[in-house]
Each structure stands twice: as structure tokens, then as C-alpha cells.
Structure 1
Amino acid sequence: MTKPKADIYPVYLIYGPEDFLIDLEVRRLLDRTLSEKERGLNFHLFSGEEESGKEIVQTAQTLPMFSRYRFVLVNDADRVDERKMEELLRYIQNPSPSTCLVLCGQTFGPWKKHQHVIEKVGKVIECGRLKGRALISWVKNRMAEKGKRLSEEAADYLVEVVGDHLYDLDSALEKAFLSVGEKRTVELSDVEGVASDVKVSTVFDLMEAIGHQDLKKALGILEKAIATKTIPFRKEEASKKIDDPVPLLLSMMAKQYRNLWRVKEMASHEKKVAEIVKSLGMSPWSVKRLIEQEGHFSESSLREGILRCHQTDLSIKRGHSQKELLMEKLVIDLCRPR
């Protein structure tokens, strides 16, 4: 069978780690093939791991009822065994033109070596994680689909505090959309409220406490990070456990000190925010937070912080004392009046 020129192909393989994009592609295909009324008799959902290949193929070969198409969705298609694969491949080589068979999975998995077979009659769609500018563009385009413009600063902020999980981002966008009423442009002030429940960086909070020489708060943040074995950056990472959080926490503190040093140095040379963003490779919102924070540190305190983080790292690696005690001593030293 040659590949049809119609808008709907008889076979799709949609794969990748981003569930939101996979679900979006499936919904778009479903909306293009079946009306709400037609779905009762013509929409079928299977698990590639549980149902037999024979059952899936028989359904796909059945003519639709009072509709132009039958829609067959197979989740976990990357988990099919060899026998199911052979049965499905025989069907794919000669698919029913009145059926839209959609195979979905987290990975390309066993289908990779058969990509050419699928593309001969259908389409392969990859749904990978969005990062950097691609994620910013997605957020802005998603709001544009709702009929409003999202400012660059608001987009940067959402990506920074919510993270790269599209379900969370879409939820925040929907809240912002509903909250602004007739306003055409969604600004930073509009999204700050809807994302206020998102946890910010443990390291940023710790450095903020150190910058204000608030020893009690700094030790409290350190104690919690070590006790719970979590170092949250964003909402979706809040429950992630780390077997030994000390090395990561210390490494991130040292990195934050270096970033603050670089920001202070560039700010002293009257570099604009856009130039600092480009140099550091960070979002504008993150750079603005660094600029605000570096004001609480002198050049000498930043040099001292970088040096003490390095010394603490060496002491931990040489086993001079318990790492938790060394981290506590580091925070106490950094909080001393300068």
C-alpha cells in the first residue's frame, strides 16, 4: 500500500518522554477523525502491554459504524512483545484506510528498526522534552492559542519557577488566562500570583539568608535539606529524594557564589541585563534575582564564600569530620558579620 495523501494517515507512531505533547497529538487526531457523537461506537483504547496483537488488529480491520473512520489508540506500544510486534507489523503493511491506528509509547523502543515500514503508510512523531528557548516559545504560543499575548518576562518567570513539565505550565497558563479578564497581554505581575505556591530554589533561599547574615534561617534551611534529603528547585522536583544531598548542595552553593561574583563584576562594568543573560546562559528572570541578591554581598565576601566552599569540599573528601558538621560550620562562618 502506498502512503495516502489524505489529512489522516492510517497509522501513527507517537513517542517520547513528554506525555503532554503525546496527549495533545492524540487529541488533535481524534478531533479530526471522530465527532463526539461518533466516538461511542468507533473509539477503542488498548494497552500494548496487556491486550493481544490479534485483538488490536481485528478491531482495526473492522469497518466503522456510521462514521468515516474508526480510531484505535494503543498505549504502551513500546512494551509490545515480539509476537504482538509481528501481528501489528503485518497489519501496518496493509492497513485499513478507514481506520486511524495510533501507537503511543515513552520510547521508540522495538519500533525503531521498523520506522521505514510505518513511514511508508503513515507518520512517526517524536515528543521530546522542551528546553531553553523552545520551552519559552511553547509557553508563549500556548497562551497565544488562548487569544492573549504572554510577555517575555512573564514567560521566563513561569518556566523558571514552574519548571519544564508541560502539564504544570499549562495549568499555570490557564489560571493566568482566567485571572486577567479582558486584558490582552499577560504580564509578569499577572503570573506571579498564580505560581506563588511553587517552591523556589533551596540554594537561593540559603544564599539569601547568608547574605542577610540570618544564621537561624540559614541553619534551618540546611537542616531541612539534609534531613529530608531533598533539594527542591521547582514544584515538580519537590519530592525527589537524594541519597546524599551534601555534595550536591555544596556544589550548588559554590556555583551560586561564582554566579554572584560574575554578576557583580559585570554590573560594576555597567553591563545591561541582556548582556549578562547572554554571558551566563540563564533566563532573564534568574539573572534579575541574582542581581538583587548580589547587592547583599561584598566582593570580599564572595571571594571568601568561594574559598570556604572549596575548603569544605576538600575536608569532606579527606574525611576530616562528619560532612553534616562541616556544612554547618561552613554556614556559620559565612553568616558571620563581614
Structure 2
Amino acid sequence: MSAAPRTSARGQVGGDWRDVPLAPVVLVYGPEDFIASRAVDDVRRKLRAGSPELELTSIDAAHYTAGQLGMVASPSLFSEPKLIEATALASMSDDFLQDALAYIKDPAPDVTLLLIHAGGVRGKKLLDALKALGVPRVECQPLKKDVEKAQFVGAEFSLAKRRIEAAAVRALVAAVGASLSELAAACSQLISDTTGMVGTDDVDKYYGGRVEATAFRVADAALAGNGPAALSTLRHALATGVDPVPLVGALAMKVRQVAKVFSLRGSSAQLARETGMSPWQVEAAQRDAGYWSGPALVTAIKVLAEADAQVKGEAKDPVYAVEHAVTVISQAARR
């Protein structure tokens, strides 16, 4: 197999972790382990598709021995293409730094060097040299915003040629969105275990018992003025050991979203840009806003501020505090 085209020295090439560009040297950079593992898998898959006999070697940059990179990259007896995965660059040794700086100036033919750096400034001289040479850099940053996680879910389903309702995306992110690897596994399970359009009932069936999902079901019912459903769900959650803190947090987030869109007009896409929310969050908040008036929102914000302080230590009975907040909000929504 011939070596991948060498990159230009005019600037670093940005790489998508779902479709990593092949080159003699590729940098996978950032602290999100799941995205990094996906990027590494993509490189392996592409190289093996072209050369099933691909030789894979791993190097630990933190415990590196001088000369190891050159030895591993040297041609083998049968000249099989090679993939060298260098890990732990965030704590690379000085020997690795020096050898890598020399290697990237003249990579070996039929060898792909995949550099995996978890972030930080260790090896800045190498990072700068890679940038100057135009080496592809795949960013592996955490997806912190719900809109980013929702886009991730949408992409997972799109790649599998499946469809999922916007409300189901929201429910799934609420239930398992804290961990990207768990969110990916949840997408995979729903894709393999269901048929047709995936809806909220499917998400609830598999993940409705999660604390986050329960919290948002309570919040949805309360914001819609459905007090009996909100209190019933709340009491079931508390009876099964759910802590009051995330319940109040979900209520507060929902109320804030309604307050953000309450007096705004425009498309969901336009309001999403103005508020920092995703379009589906805007649409859900606009639906909830139909149950609310300005004074009622003020009441809800006040009672939630009190409840937040109470469930975090200012009250002897945090369960009563969250029940009181849910009751007040449900009643305020009906007026």
C-alpha cells in the first residue's frame, strides 16, 4: 500500500472524528476518550479496508525508550503497511518528544503514525510542529451542551438510516446524556432493539428509570399544570431513592427555558440562536409557555430558588421542599 498523500505545510487540516482523513501522521487531540476511540477505530477500519495485512503497533509515549519509534517504523520483512498508535502524549517523555519531532519531518513510507494526545500543553513544541506541517488534527472535546448531544444522537440514528422523534432525542439526552459513551450505547440499543420511528415510549421503556429521565417527567407534568401526574411521578421517584436535588434542578431548567422564550417571537431556529438553546428545546418551551403568565413565572422562579436552597441543606425535610415546589408550580401553571 502506498503512503497517504503528505499534507501541506500551509496550515493544520481539521479532521472530523467520524471521518478521519488519512495521512502519514494524524493527531487525535482532546480529553473526550469516547470520541478519541471512535477516531482511532475509523483510522484502523480505513487502513484495514485497503490492507487487510496491516501491522498494528502501540507505543506508550510516557514510558518511551529512545529510538523505539524509528525501529517500529522501519520496513518489515514482507513490507506490510503499518499503523503505529502512540498514546499518552499528554505525559510524553523527552525522548519521545525528540524522536517524534525528527520523525514527522520525514515519515516512513507505508506507515501511518497516529498520535493520541488527551489535551494540555505537554509537548507544545511537537504540537506546534504538527500544525506547521499541516498534519490533520482531530478534535476530541467533550459535548457539554444538550444541543451538541442532541446532534450527536441525530447523527448516530442518521448513520444507521433510522429516524427518532425530536421529543425522544430530548428524553434520551435527559436520561443518559451525562456520559457520551453511555449515550452512544443507548442509541445503539434503541437502533438494534426497535423498528420504525423511535419515539418517547421506546426511550421510556429502556431508560425511563434513570434519575434524569424521571426528573424531566416530573418537570414536564408540573409545567403543563398537571399536578396529580407530577406529584405521582415525584413520589414514586422519591420512594425508589431518587435524590431531591436533581428533581429541583430539572424543574429549574424547564422554568428557565420557558422564561427565555416567554416574550420572544420568531422561528425555533432563530430563537435557538438568540437563547443558546436547541430548536427542539425552544419548541418544547414555547408549548409550555402557553400554560403560563408573567406573574406565574415569577412565582415559579421564587419557589424554585427557595427549594434549591432547602434541598441543599437549609431545610430539615428536603422531600417536603420539592413536593411543595411541584405543587406551587402545577397550580401556578393552571391560572
Counterparts in 2 of 1:142 and 1:25: CA distance versus 1, 3 Å: same
Give the AA of the match of 1:306: I
Runs of 5+ unmatched residues, structure 1: 234-248
Aligned to 2:115, the other structure's residue is in SS state: strand
Corresponding residue pairs, total? 302
Are 2:42 and 1:28 aligned? Answer: yes
Aligned with 1:54 (options 67, 77, 85): 67
Partner of 1:122: 135
Counterparts in 2 of 1:66 and 1:150: CA distance versus 1, 3 Å: farther
Aligned to 1:14, the other structure's residue is in SS state: strand
Partner of 2:280: 284
Cα deviation, residue 105, structure 1 = 2.1
Partner of 1:38: 53
Partner of 1:225: 243
TM-score of the superposed pair, with normalisation by structure 2: 0.67
Work out the CA distance in 2 between the residues paired with 1:333 and 1:195: 27
Does the CA-based 8 Å contact 2:64-2:95 persist in structure 1?
A: no
Give the AA of the match of 2:314: K
Does the CA-based 8 Å contact 1:76-1:104 persist in structure 2?
A: yes
Identity %: 18
Partner of 1:180: 194
Aligned to 2:210, the other structure's residue is in SS state: coil
Cα deviation, residue 89, structure 1 = 1.4
Runs of 5+ unmatched residues, structure 2: 9-20
Partner of 2:122: 110
Partner of 1:323: 314
Does the CA-based 8 Å contact 2:86-2:115 persist in structure 1?
A: yes
Aligned to 1:217, the other structure's residue is in SS state: helix
Counterparts in 2 of 1:175 and 1:329: CA distance versus 1, 3 Å: closer
Are 2:94 and 1:99 aligned? Answer: no
Give the AA of the match of 2:108: S
Q: How does 1:140-179 map onto structure 2 within 5 Å?
A: 140-163=154-177, 165-179=179-193
Work out the CA distance in 1 between the residues paired with 2:259 and 2:179: 31
For residues 162-219 of structure 1, the C-alpha deviation after alignment (integer angstroms, 9 at most, x for no partner) is 21633222212222222234x4x44444444333343226765776689449599399
Cα deviation, residue 20, structure 1 = 2.2
Work out the CA distance in 2 between the residues paired with 1:9 and 1:316: 54
Aligned with 2:302 (options 299, 307, 327): 307
TM-score of the superposed pair, with normalisation by structure 1: 0.67
Partner of 2:96: 84
Cα RMSD for the two superposed structures: 4.6
Does the CA-based 8 Å contact 2:252-2:301 persist in structure 1?
A: yes
Does the CA-based 8 Å contact 1:308-1:330 persist in structure 2?
A: no
Does the CA-based 8 Å contact 1:48-1:76 persist in structure 2?
A: yes
